[in-house]
């Protein structure tokens, strides 16, 4: 087994990040988070990478935050607990913002349990693919906490406000078929197909103009926070950039050449 807590590979323009702490069901430690952040930064910077697939090694996708880390935080002097917690939250939110804001298609290939922060990480991706072993739980309430990885934002947008409240208030487990029916999961395949199917879907999603995709994704991520007027304005600005892109120029030239050949 690799000593790295995050495994990172690139094949045919598709990056795959795998959480690699299977003995702890890929629970997110501070060290693992730092490696994850670095891998996301690489995906963001590298123009040769067209899309990202995120998965886990072993039987779980990510079992959430590392409980041993929670114990250490509680053992800090009383006057430091709140600030230490706030500082840790900045790290969590930085990584989740990196994942949400990637200008490329992202797919969570959830190979097993996605609990707490693990469930939030999955929903920070554009799409979620599951297998028959996948299960989701926003189990924070069982630790006396609220979702801190964006679940309060992502989950209502997936399942509606009332259902999100029910899942967060109870922390119950959602099996793969129910997750698909609720809209937590977008596609379900077998365990043996999962990773290859996610990588193939990522390649399909990344076929178009990288410029148009990046701009469109950014606006779509903000749709529920803006009026139609705002979205029209943002779209106008993005389209002006698209007009100047090499992809647009090449696509128009190719279309005209094809039409001329048919004439």
Residue partners of 8: CB distance under 8 A and separation at least 6: 15, 16, 17, 18, 39, 42
In terms of residues, how long is the chain?
A: 263
Tell the residue number behind the tokens 């090694």, with chain if given: 57
Pair 55, 135 in one domain: yes
Which structure tokens are listed for 157? 């947008």
Pair 243, 138 in one domain: no
Pair 194, 226 in one domain: no
How is the beta sheet containing 51-56 ordered, strand by strand? 6-11, 14-19, 51-56, 106-110, 127-130, 187-188
**Residue 226 is assigned to a structural domain of this protein:** yes
pTM of the predicted model over 0.85: yes
**Residue 53 is assigned to a structural domain of this protein:** yes
Pair 196, 231 in one domain: no
| 260 CB neighbour count, 10 Å cutoff | 8
pLDDT, mean of each 10-residue run, the chain (263 residues): 87 98 95 97 98 98 81 70 80 96 98 98 98 97 94 98 98 98 98 98 97 97 95 96 95 91 80
In the prediction, which pLDDT does 71 show? 61
**Residue 1 is assigned to a structural domain of this protein:** no
In the prediction, which pLDDT does 260 show? 85
| Structural domain for 221, as ranges | 210-262
3-state SS, residue 13: coil
Tell the residue number behind the tokens 């947008």, with chain if given: 157
Pair 77, 58 in one domain: yes
How many structural domains compose the chain? Answer: 2
Pair 165, 218 in one domain: no
Pair 49, 133 in one domain: yes
| 10 CB neighbour count, 10 Å cutoff | 15
In the prediction, which pLDDT does 1 show? 47
Rounded to whole angstroms, how far apart are CA atoms 211 and 47?
11
In the prediction, which pLDDT does 3 show? 80
Pair 188, 224 in one domain: no
Degrees, nearest 5: CA angle 102-123-61: 100
How many Å separate Cα 244 from the centre of its chain? 30
């Amino acid at each position: 087994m690799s000593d790295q807590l995050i495994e990172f590979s690139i094949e045919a323009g598709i990056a795959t990040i795998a959480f690699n702490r299977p003995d702890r069901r890929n629970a997110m430690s501070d060290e693992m988070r730092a490696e994850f952040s670095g891998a996301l930064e690489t995906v963001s910077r590298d123009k040769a990478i067209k899309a990202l697939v995120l998965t886990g090694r072993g039987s779980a996708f990510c079992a959430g935050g590392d409980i041993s880390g929670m114990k250490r935080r509680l053992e800090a002097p009383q006057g430091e607990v709140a600030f230490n917690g706030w500082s840790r939250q900045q790290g969590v939110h930085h990584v989740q913002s990196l994942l949400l804001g990637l200008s490329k298609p992202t797919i969570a290939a959830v190979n097993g349990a996605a609990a707490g922060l693990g469930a939030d990480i999955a929903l920070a991706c554009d799409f979620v693919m599951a297998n028959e072993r996948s299960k989701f739980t926003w189990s924070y309430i069982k630790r006396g906490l609220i979702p801190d990885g964006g679940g309060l934002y992502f989950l209502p947008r997936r399942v509606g406000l009332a259902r999100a409240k029910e899942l967060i208030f109870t922390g119950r487990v959602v099996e793969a078929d129910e997750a698909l029916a609720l809209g937590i999961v977008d596609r379900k395949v077998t365990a043996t197909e999962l990773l290859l199917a996610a990588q193939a879907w990522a390649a399909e999603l990344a076929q178009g103009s990288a410029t148009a995709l990046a701009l469109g994704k950014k606006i779509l991520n903000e749709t529920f926070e803006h009026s139609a007027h705002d979205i029209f304005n943002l779209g106008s600005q993005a389209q002006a950039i698209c007009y100047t892109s090499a992809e647009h120029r090449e696509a128009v030239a190719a279309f005209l050449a094809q039409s001329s050949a048919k004439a």
